[in-house]
């Protein structure tokens, strides 16, 4: 997977995971990791900056979005391999939603990974911090930390 920039590799085998997917970068978290840990980041290969805008300007008046390089989707699929369950977060609608395109790719090429996807949720991932994405995954998989009720006794 040399064509993509991968940082902070996270092993999700046998674990629940949450992935915030867009056309440029995917943030991947293992739900049982420490909240302060950094997510794995997978960046699409774009040496000339062509992916800055993913829509066609010439000869395409309806503005259809173009699909990203299949190597990017494959890299994400390999990172999700063996996960117990995956929550995908994406934004946009239809062909503008990268998580929908990822699901379509996985269903066609990596059905075992597609089977581990439990939900594909539309949220504004650009405005979510790393911790908020992580906490959404925890809430979805019912692994939220105990709350402090003001008496310093968490969950009591």
Residues 83-103: tens digit of each pLDDT: 999 999 998 776 678 899 999
Residues 109-120: tens digit of each pLDDT: 999 999 999 999
Confidence (pLDDT) at 3: 46
Write down the residue that tokens 């960046």 correspond to: 43
Region label for 109, one of left (φ > 0), alpha (ψ between -120 and 50) or beta (otherwise) = alpha
Domain covering 5-140 assigned CATH 3.40.50.1100 in the classification = no
Who contacts 119 (Cβ-Cβ below 8 Å, separation ≥6)?
Answer: 87, 88, 140
Region label for 92, one of left (φ > 0), alpha (ψ between -120 and 50) or beta (otherwise) = left
Paired with 122 in beta bridges are 90
């Amino acid at each position: 997977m040399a064509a993509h920039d991968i940082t902070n590799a996270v092993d999700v085998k046998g674990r629940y995971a949450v992935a915030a997917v867009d056309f440029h970068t995917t943030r991947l978290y293992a739900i049982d990791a420490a909240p302060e840990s950094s997510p794995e980041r997978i960046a699409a290969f774009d040496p000339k900056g062509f992916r800055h805008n993913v829509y066609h300007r010439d000869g395409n008046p309806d503005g259809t979005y173009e699909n990203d390089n299949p190597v990017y989707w494959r890299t994400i699929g390999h990172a999700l391999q063996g996960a117990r369950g995956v929550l995908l977060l994406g934004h946009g609608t239809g062909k503008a939603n990268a998580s929908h395109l990822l699901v379509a790719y996985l269903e066609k090429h990596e059905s075992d990974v597609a089977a581990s996807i439990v939900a594909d949720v539309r949220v504004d991932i650009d405005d979510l911090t790393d911790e908020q994405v992580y906490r959404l995954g925890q809430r979805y998989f019912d692994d939220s930390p105990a709350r402090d009720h003001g008496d310093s006794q968490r969950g009591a």
